[in-house]
A and B are shown apart, each in its own frame.
Chain A
Amino acid sequence: AQSVTQPDIHITVSEGASLELRCNYSYGATPYLFWYVQSPGQGLQLLLKYFSGDTLVQGIKGFEAEFKRSQSSFNLRKPSVHWSDAAEYVCAVGLKAAGNKLTFGGGTRVLVKP
């Protein structure tokens, strides 16, 4: 079955340290890939997206993600985390064969300690 997996439910990172969030998908073709951030009381905000071309994608707030076809992964990274990065991060995919909807992973909650 088609699915999006975020293996880490919670991650705690020290402020200033690097962060990597994992996202794996299970689809027969290359989907469109998205990372969203969700803060308490806020809607989902798009961080970055991959359609085609360069597999390293730059986003807002200093985030980047790399698409690896061989691993069916689209991991999100940030070199140095700020306290304001504490939030829920959700990976999503869109696939033409699946219609017009996005399929989301379960999310990873990031806690930032001083």
Chain B
Amino acid sequence: GAGVSQTPSNKVTEKGKYVELRCDPISGHTALYWYRQSLGQGPEFLIYFQGTGAADDSGLPNDRFFAVRPEGSVSTLKIQRTERGDSAVYLCASSSQPAGVTGTEAFFGQGTRLTVV
């Protein structure tokens, strides 16, 4: 597509529920990133995919968080047993090459605002 698309744009869920957040990257981009942005803070890295594999998942806060990218395109971030502290904007980005290493620009989606009540 023309840009990075994230769905849904807003998600309200009850504490303890399971949620899935979807990211559709720019066509042909092999690198895909998930970040989390809490209110008043800058984005924090969660996980990075190169192709289908998770090359770096060091930012996932705990084992309730999991992400997949089975065909090397669309990615889904999955959160089990949601907690109120998971409330944040979840940002997805893609780039044609690894952004942090090569300095290539990462293009960001508009984010999914997750609210856990």
Q: Report the Cα distance A34→B95, complex, angstroms.
A: 14
The DSSP consensus for interface residues of chain B is mixed
Tell me the complex Cα distance, A9–B39, Å.
12
Instruction: Give chain A interface residues in 61-114, CB to chain B under 8 Å.
Output: 90, 92, 94-96, 98-107
State which residues 100-117 of B face A: CB under 8 Å. Answer: 100-103, 105-111
In the assembled complex, B31 has its CB within 8 A of some CB on chain A: yes
Q: Are B110 and A94 within 8 A (Cβ)? A: no
The answer, among A41, A102, A105, for a CB contact under 8 Å with B99, is A102
Interface residues on A, range: 20 to 34
Query: How many angstroms from the CA of A23 to the CA of B108 in the assembled complex?
Result: 21
Contact partners of B98 in chain A: CB under 8 A: 100
Question: A28 at the A/B interface (Cβ < 8 Å)?
Answer: no
B44 near A99 with CB under 8 A, answer no
Quick check: which of B12-20, B48-56, B68-76 contacts chain A, the rest being far away?
B48-56
Closest Cβ of chain A to B105, distance in Å, is 5
B65 beta carbon closer than 8 Å to chain A? no
Say if the beta carbon of A13 comes within 8 Å of chain B: no
Candidate in B33, B41, B48, B106 with the most chain A CB atoms within 10 angstroms: B106
Q: Is the beta-carbon distance between B108 and A44 smaller than 8 angstroms?
A: yes
Cross-chain contact of A106 among B35, B42, B50, B91 (Cβ < 8 A): B42
Tell whether, in the assembled complex, residue B101 and residue A106 are in contact, meaning their CB atoms are under 8 Å apart: no
- Given the interface pairs A43-B4, A43-B108, A44-B108, the reply to whether A99 lies near B43 with Cβ below 8 Å is no
Within 8 A of B (CB), among A19-61: 32, 34, 36, 41-46, 49, 51
Q: Which among B43, B50, B109 is the interface contact of A90 at CB below 8 angstroms?
A: B43
Q: Are B56's CB and A100's CB within 8 A?
A: yes
Interface string of B13-32 (1 = CB under 8 A from A): 00000000000000000010
